[in-house]
Amino acid sequence: MKLWCKLLGAARALSGISDSVSIVHSRPGCHNGMFYLRTLGSNQNDIRIVGSGFQAHDAIYGGEEKLANVIRLSYENFKPSLIAVLNCSAPVLMGADIEGIVYEMKEEIPAEIIALSTGGYEGPAWMGYEETLAELTRFMVSCEDPSDSKINLIGCKQDDVKADSDLLEIKRMLNSHEISINTVLTNSSFEKITNAPKASLNVVLGGDGLECAKVMQEKFGTPYVITSYPYGLDNSINFLKRVTTGLNKEVNKEFIASEKEWIKKRIEKVYFFLHGICGMSVAVIGDSSHAFDLSRFLSDELCLDVKVLAITSRNHVSQSRADDDYFEMLLIEPDRFRMNEIVKSKGIEMIFGSSLEKKLAYELNVPLIRTFYPVFDGVSISDSPYAGFKGVINLAETIINSVINNYTEVE
């Protein structure tokens, strides 16, 4: 299911750097696609994606002068700390010397400028994301005495569903253990990213950004741990255990016990509804860093039957999780037509996916829970996380309400 190319992965990584600008050096279609995905999301006051104005005739005569002018205008209008030129398929194929232009503009523009090759034929989105995060490590400044109570979160994307509220909940959980977040890659300022080596541990959420963690370990000696995305009670506890172990700290058992008791009191209020959805057949369709862990929560804690787990975008650890036992069928980057046919054949009663599954859910007349990128037919601006201990309640509430409110024709 390679719907997305390297350009999208790179653009998503860079969009979370609050003082950066991304210049899409391509035909108008590539820039329009990135621009619309941003504007139809939940961060419409923070869109920093610029087109270079590359047209068909530039494939013959070159678009170097246009790109240089756009770099100048981007700095004049945004005053960014980082300008990233995303070189797409057409100029890559014609052999445009983007690196040469960037080198010349560095003498004129008082900001860091990088060039990234993101041609659609060069690879899928997850590779673009990994390579972009790894590229950012060359701006990082070494620290001789990193804090033993600070971590970096790697793999957080600003445009994920519930990204801001999930991050708040993760911070709350860590603060209960006297652990703070030094840098979020990438949901921070460029300066904070350059200071990432001040943390004593990198926490890779769901496997996304693993390449960056490996480079930081090699360059700065920063160790890393790969954790589950904290969906549900067990994943949240395991997340805290992995982080505290990595920092040689003890897990706060009193905090976890308190959170368990709070969840229990809330869940008891809807016991009969949860009993009613027990065993419901569901499909989970999303990226690797989130979908595996959401499926585990749905299966192990809500007792839903995950008939199909379809990974739309893999990462370096996807294959190692193929033998997990909380789903019936695993599809990794399948053809969408084939995936839809399989989902239709499994008696699915609910889909956890993105806006791209809206038509499939309509055809099956089942609820669609929007839990994965991209979501462009809904917004998320409230502090109601899906991650962490609070996320247990919010996810259960969303699922129950979706079932209750789903209208089914009775023949």
Q: What does the pLDDT look like over 320-348, one tens digit per residue?
A: 999 888 999 999 999 999 999 999 999 99
Neighbours of 57 (CB within 10 A): 9
E strands, 88-223, are 112-117, 147-154, 180-185, 199-205
Question: Which band of pLDDT confidence, cut at 50, 70 and 90, is reported for residue 47?
Answer: confident
pLDDT band at 1 (very low <50, low <70, confident <90, very high): very low
Helix-helix angle 163-175:388-405, to 10 degrees: 140
Give yes or no for a contact between 281 and 307, defined as CB atoms under 8 angstroms apart. yes
What pLDDT, on the 0 to 100 scale, is given for residue 409?
A: 55
- Give residue 59's pLDDT band: very low, low, confident or very high (50, 70, 90): low
Neighbours of 410 (CB within 10 A): 4
Burial class (CB in 10 A: 0-12, 13-18, 19+), 194: buried
User: Mean per-residue pLDDT for 269-292?
Assistant: 96
Q: Which two tokens stand for residue 53?
A: 């104005």
> Is a pLDDT exceeding 90 seen at residue 137?
yes
Residue 375 pLDDT > 70:
yes
- Mean pLDDT computed over 235-254: 97
Per-residue burial over 159-193, b if 16 or more Cβ lie within 10 Å, else e, is bbbbbbbbbbbbbebbebbebebbbbbbbbbbebb
pTM passes above 0.85: yes
pLDDT at 2: 44
E strand intervals along 63-214: 82-87, 112-117, 147-154, 180-185, 199-205
Contacts of 254 (CB under 8 A, 6+ apart): none
77/107 Cα distance (integer angstroms): 18
Phi/psi of residue 243, nearest 5 degrees: -70, -50
* Percent of residues, the chain, with pLDDT higher than 90: 75
Band of the pLDDT at 152, cuts 50, 70, 90? very high
Domains of the chain: 6-138 (3.40.50.1980), 140-262 (3.40.50.1980), 269-405 (3.40.50.1980)
Q: Is the pLDDT of residue 365 over 60?
A: yes
Nearest residue to 230 (alpha-carbon basis) of 205, 253, 207, 255: 205
Predicted confidence (pLDDT) at residue 374 exceeds the cutoff of 50: yes
Query: Could you tell me what percent of the chain has a pLDDT over 70?
Result: 94
Average pLDDT, the chain: 91
Backbone angles phi, psi at 334, to 5 degrees: -80, 160
Contact (Cβ atoms closer than 8 angstroms) between residue 63 and residue 94: no
Q: Cα 156–98–215 angle (5° rounding)?
A: 40
**How far is residue 352 from each of residues 169, 304, 402, measured CA to CA in Å?**
21, 12, 11
- Say yes or no to pLDDT of 290 above 90: yes
Q: 186-200, 239-253, 369-383: which range is least confident on average?
A: 369-383
Q: What is the pLDDT of residue 246?
A: 97
47-61, 162-176, 376-390 — which is least confidently predicted?
Answer: 47-61
Task: Give the chain's radius of gyration (CA, Å).
Answer: 22
Is 368 a residue whose pLDDT tops 80?
A: yes
pLDDT band at 118 (very low <50, low <70, confident <90, very high): confident
CB 352 within 8 A of CB 399: no
pLDDT for 254: 97
Q: Which residues pair with 281 in a beta bridge?
A: 305
